[in-house]
Amino acid sequence: MERIIVCLKPVPDPKQWDEVSMDPETQTLIREGIASVINPLDKHAIEAALSIQGVLGGEVVLLSMAPPSAASTLREGLAMGADRAVLLSDRMFAGSDTLATAHVLAAGCRWLGDNDLIICGNMSIDGSTAQVGSQLAELLDLPNIMHVIDLDLGEDGSMVVTRKIEHGFARLRGALPLVISVRKELNKPRYTSFTGILAAESKEIKVLSNEDLKISPEVIGIDGSPTKMAGIELRRFERAREKLDGSVDEIVESLAGRIYQYGII
């Protein structure tokens, strides 16, 4: 094994999502003061990469398209044990949809050279589209498998992968190079050790801009994204909120009455 790439997305800490508000004038989300963390499923991707590395060797490289401030999130991934990181950062990338993001990540993979395995989290917790892994694979002309819940390395350099399907699973055998997207059932991400944090300080985070990658502006950023945002609003819930009062017996009586009215019983 020469190289395993883990695609990593810094996301706003889900614990702080309640603090997100919207600027009614500009229709943009205000997320100031909300910390970035590694997308939770990407930690499972890192864990998978590290355990494969443990058997087959090679280097584990973190790859992320994000603003320069994402370096600190990448550092957390390095502290888990990845060898180095590549941060793809350029104003031209801003506003990229999933296909444009996949173009940028694909360029990053090509910049790195020959890669045996590319591992993504099955979806990001903020965008939740689950589209980037498949699109990256297509742009690199590599096969891919999503919803991965188990992995076995074959002797012949192939990989036997178990993926979830409705009410069950499918097992597949694929040759490397391969792109896989993993679910949380796959493994338990290791805890970061203090020595890991210290070691991460001296690991390389290479920042590349489009000067290095030379992707056509026509396929990246807001302008290069086929999908466009046509509107955004906070979700509102309007319901009657009628409180049933009285003794428990009375409450039960009127509950049953409602259920009857709805035509259920």
Q: Which stretch in 59-67, 165-173, 186-194, 208-216 sits in contact with other proteins by CB under 8 A?
A: 165-173
State the helix-helix crossing angle for 132-140 and 98-112, rounded to 10 degrees.
50
In the bound state with other proteins, the residue whose beta carbon lies nearer, of 79 and 99, is 99
Q: Does 125 engage in binding with ligand FAD (CB under 6 A)?
A: yes
Q: Does 14 engage in binding with ligand FAD (CB under 6 A)?
A: yes
Which are the contacts of 29, defined by CB distance < 8 A and separation ≥ 6? 20, 21, 22, 23, 232
Q: Does 264 engage in binding with other proteins (CB under 8 A)?
A: yes
H or E segment at 147? strand 144-153
Q: Does 20 engage in binding with ligand FAD (CB under 6 A)?
A: no
In the bound state with other proteins, the residue whose beta carbon lies nearer, of 88 and 179, is 179
Q: Does 55 engage in binding with other proteins (CB under 8 A)?
A: no
Query: Which 202-221 residues touch other proteins, going by CB under 8 A?
Result: none
Contact 114, 1 (CB under 8 A): no
Neighbours of 184 (CB within 10 A): 14
Q: Which does 161 bind (CB under 5 to 8 A by kind): ligand FAD, other proteins, none?
A: other proteins
Task: Report H helices in 113-213.
Answer: 132-140, 194-201, 210-213
H or E segment at 148? strand 144-153
One symbol per residue from 111 to 140: x for binding other proteins (CB under 8 A), - otherwise; what is it? --------------xxxxxxxxxxx-xxx-
Residues that bind ligand FAD (CB under 6 A): 14, 125
